[in-house]
Structure formats: C-alpha cells, structure tokens
Chain A
Amino acid sequence: KNQVEQSPQSLIILEGKNCTLQCNYTVSPFSNLRWYKQDTGRGPVSLTIMTFSENTKSNGRYTATLDADTKQSSLHITASQLSDSASYICVIRGGSQGNLIFGKGTKLSVKP
C-alpha cells in the first residue's frame, strides 16, 4: 500500500533554534516529493520539490533532502522564526495512477 509517514506528529521549539522534520514513504512507482507549509486556517503552499536527480534543495532557511535508497526525506529549518509555526506536509506523486499522496503533517510550534 502506498503510504507517507511523517514524524514527529508535533514539535515545539524556541525561536532561533533549528529543527528537522522527517518523511518516510512506501510509494511505488515514485515520481517526486514536495514539502508544503500549511498555516492555520489556510491552504497548503509548496516549499520545494524533490526528485532523485535533485535530492537537495534550499529555500531560504529551509533545506530539504531526499534519500532514494532509504525512501526518506527531511526538511531542516534553521534559525526558526515565529512565522514558521505551521503544519508541514510531505506529498508524493506516485502510485499506479500518479495521484498525490499526502502525509498527515508535522505541526510545528515556535515559541518566543
């Protein structure tokens, strides 16, 4: 069964600290992976796209990596800010129909 598992479910960190969010998947065939940020009460917004050939991407303070061998992706946030408080969702395009498969998300809270 195609699955996307994210950990931790929730995370609380202090402003200025770093954190890493994890995504493990069992989707086959795999096309690509996106990380989305969803602010409370809003729709998800794409942060970055990962493929086997583009397996490290940086977008400001966000750095995402993809390991095809272990089927894991991570999203690293450096020098966190209050505005980073949100849910971060790992989304994979894959499976027999090529649909988007969503993880349940990690809820990040950045405290002052």
Chain B
Amino acid sequence: NAGVTQTPKFQVLKTGQSMTLQCAQDMNHNSMYWYRQDPGMGLRLIYYSASEGTTDKGEVPNGYNVSRLNKREFSLRLESAAPSQTSVYFCASSVSRQNTEAFFGQGTRLTVV
C-alpha cells in the first residue's frame, strides 16, 4: 500500500524552464491537494481538486497550473520557473474536502537557480 507517491524527489531547474510534478494516490480518495513548504512558514495551499474533474485555486496559485488526470493522479506544472518557486512541494489526498485527515507524499525538493 503505497499511499501518496510523488515524483521526482529532487529537481534543479534553471530560471525559465518548465517541469511537471507528478502525484498519484492508491487510496481511492476523492480530493487531492498541492502544497508548498518554505522555511519559517506553514504549508500553503497552491491548488486543490475536490473531486475528479474539478480544480480550484488555493492561497498561492500564481505561476502554477494543475491537471486532475483521473481519480488517482494530480499533477502540478511550473510553466516558467522562478527562484521564488524554490521550495518543498507536497501532494496530499483525503477522502473528501470535508474530511480533514490529509495523507501526504514524501515531498519534492525543487531548487530554481
């Protein structure tokens, strides 16, 4: 039982490059989320998908796009990376938006130089 799987675990990008962070969950959860975690700050919500086929902006969506490919997969895309996007990114899932127990992946440490 893998839970929430994120790839890659580490990535270095040059300013202006693009990349997609992948996330998959095997718990049949309806809701999925992307967060970023920066030193000295709490996790901040980038985008979420309450259910398959829907996506919504969170607290810090600028510079990101998402795709809910199917019930299992939720990807995060950086179209033109900036140094301010250097962070640790976490994907999470939960049974529903109302269910607060979010299960997190191991994170992707992204550095933009």
Contacts and interface: CB of A to CB of B under 8 A. Distances in A.
Contacts of B98: 98
B74 interface: no
A31 interface: yes
- Mostly, the A contact residues are strand
Interface in B38-60: 40-45, 58-59
Nearest to B102: A100
B97 interface: yes
Interface string A1-41: 00010000000000000000000000000011010000001
A100 B90 contact: no
B106 A104 contact: no
A34 B100 CA distance: 8
Given A89-B42, A99-B45, A45 B100 contact: no
A48 B105 CA distance: 19
Contacts of B104: 43-45
A53 to B, nearest CB: 15
Interface residues of B, number: 20
Interface in B1-32: 4
Interface of A: 4, 31-32, 34, 41-46, 49, 89, 91, 93, 98-105
A43 B42 contact: no
A34 B106 contact: no
Contacts of A102: 42-44
Contacts of B44: 102
